[in-house]
Structure 1
Amino acid sequence: MSYFTEENSEAAVINRLGDDVDPRFRQIMESAVKHLHGFVKEVEPTMDEWFQAIQFLTATGKMCDDKRQEWILASDTLGVSMLVDAINHRRPDGATENTVLGPFHVSGAPVRALGENICLDGKGAPCVVSGTVTDENGAPIAGAKVDVWQTNDEGFYDVQQPGVQPDMNMRGLFTTDESGHYHYTTVKPLPYSIPTDGPVGELLVAMGRHAMRPAHIHYIVSAPGYETLVTHIFPKGDPYLDSDAVFGVKESLIVDFVDEGGSTSARFDVKLKKVG
């Protein structure tokens, strides 16, 4: 029997894993323990500093409910969400790139007809977004589901302003036609701050970072036989493209929003990767 010491701390914990533990779970826990203990040995936190870390974890959990996920926000702002996403969505050249889901997706978005307006509060400059969903070779995909959502013109998602915004404001689920085409009406997106009223906001301040996201529209595009795509589109020229608080920008997702005189238009074509 080997008792716990500073020198053998990793081994002491890992050796407690049972013999019948799932192999993948064992791999994950062994690595987690090694990295966590290595981190502690590298920075040598004081007892007060470690208690501050515990308080951060506790406060982050307390901020989570069915409308807000502070842990996703923490993962996003530390770049972990984008790294996990990149590892799990390595796509061939030509297929549309993924980016982070974000903490404000809501299932059950209202089914809308092509061209319908997702802006229910009447605020903001009108914008028409259109495009075609195809496979990697450019063959159109009819019946693809295009789930879109964004903030309103004041920079808030509907779930952040219950009772202020209409339910399901700035959300819609569209289906591509026989030629794989989709289009909908919305408002031109604007940059906004991620929530800073919780522990993640305090962490960003401590790190000397801003909390701004470049303007964007969220997408989930799915079709039978194809990998589901989770992504954004970003207007070209946005001042926060190079410093997105959640590291979500990819060059291929930057899109021209064309001034149409009182309104704007944008085109975003999607190429899905076949499963297998």
Structure 2
Amino acid sequence: MTRDTQRLDALAQEVHASFEDTPNARLQEILRGLTRHLHDFVAEVDLSFEEWEAAIDFLTRTGQKCDDVRQEFILLSDVLGVSMLVETLNDIETPDATDSTVLGPFHMVDSPVRELGENISPVSDGQLCVVHGTVRDEQGQPVAHAVVDVWQADTHGFYDVQQPDKQPQGNGRGLLTADEDGKFYFTSVVPAYYPIPTDGPVGELLHATNRHPYRPAHIHFIVAAPGFRELTTHIFIGGSDYLDSDAVFAVKDSLVREFVAREGGTANPCGVTGAFVEAQIDITLHKEGGDNH
């Protein structure tokens, strides 16, 4: 059957024109770009009606899988590389700040407020680690009292929200306030690599494409301070499995850190007296309205 390209073009132009009176210019730009590329995509792959129905069903079930502790749409964005694309585009504007990376699907629970030096994983077993760093601006000056939100999986690769019968809500999470010199520090356990959830539509997608679901071991951070752009990032554990094939494409070399074994009696900001593993990550925030060039 010969494709009526003139009719397809006319339909696309009609949809494009329907946004003519959109009051918000940026919304108009986004919707016009979206529909243009979407129409081109559907025409390029010659989408069948059955495939369209399957896509609608997939997206419907993706939304139905979302709840207060699980965000399947973020997971879908992650495994398609869209989350990292957005992060990378925004990093271009802040070349001197710490690299950002994906939020992930499990920042759906408020982290409990914790004091500097406190254990954010009090009920988790495993190797004790001390994590510390300094929050600075792009000129190297400390950012006093920055808020540092951290969360992580345990040594078995599970977040608290995945095991409500084994981990209390808030285990593996902490909301810290850096001191006047921008320093933050806490203890935890060394997290394990783990699979992203595969019991929903995103898992079906990975299975259908013969992709593995694993993420290398990491700790999440959101760092914020008045007058600065909020930063979402990770530290990845050097030597972890899947550093070169993260299921959500989130690894950046600048965010990989060595977790170094220390003997008992080694000085540390948390006052740990026994053996521990140490990791350091210094955070550089971008000052809003600043000019770095």
Provide the C-alpha distance between the structure 2 equivalents of 1:217 and 1:117, rounded to a whole number of angstroms. Answer: 14
SS at structure 1 position matched to 2:30 = helix
Paired amino acid for 1:212: Y
The counterpart of 2:227, out of the listed 217, 225, 228, is 225
1:47 and 1:104, CA in 2 relative to 1: closer, same or farther beyond 3 A? Answer: same
**Contact 1:91-1:273 at 8 Å conserved across structures:** no
The AA in structure 2 aligned to 1:234 is F
List, as ranges, runs of 4+ consecutive aligned residues in structure 1 with deviation greater than 6 Å: none
SS in 2 for 1:149: strand
Determine if the alignment matches structure 1 residue 165 to structure 2 residue 167.
Answer: yes
Cα RMSD over matched residues? Answer: 1.7
Corresponding residue of 1:71: 73
State the Cα distance separating 1:33 from its structure 2 match. Answer: 1.1
Q: Distance in 2 between matches of 1:132 and 1:7?
A: 55
**Where do 1:216-255 residues align within 5 Å?**
216-255=218-257
Deviations, residues 86-135 of structure 1 (Å, cap 9, x unaligned): 22233444421111111111453211111100112231211100111111
Task: Tell me if the contact between 1:130 and 1:267 (Cα under 8 Å) persists in the aligned partners.
Answer: yes
Contact 1:120-1:166 at 8 Å conserved across structures: no
Unaligned 5+ segments in structure 1 are none
- 1:199-223: CA deviation from partner (whole Å, max 9, x where unpaired): 0011011122111001000001111
Deviations 1:149-197 (A, max 9, x none): 0011221111122232112000001111122211100011110000000
Aligned equivalent of 1:208: 210
Which residue type is aligned with residue 269 of structure 1? D
> Retained in 1: the 8 A contact 2:221–2:233?
yes
1:236 CA drift (Å) = 1.0
Alpha-carbon distance in structure 2 between the residues aligned to 1:205 and 1:220: 31
Amino acid at match of 1:219: F
Identity, in percent, stands at: 53
Gaps of 5+ in 2: 1-5, 264-274
Q: C-alpha separation between the residues in 2 aligned to 1:138 and 1:23?
A: 38
TM-score by structure 2 length?
0.88
Deviation at 1:21, TM superposition (A): 4.0
Q: Which residue number corresponds to residue 117 of structure 1?
A: 119
- Does residue 265 in structure 1 map to residue 278 in structure 2? yes
Superposed counterparts of 1:147-166, under 5 Å:
147-166=149-168
Letter in 2 for 1:170: G
Q: Residues of 2 paired with 1:71 and 1:62: CA distance?
A: 10
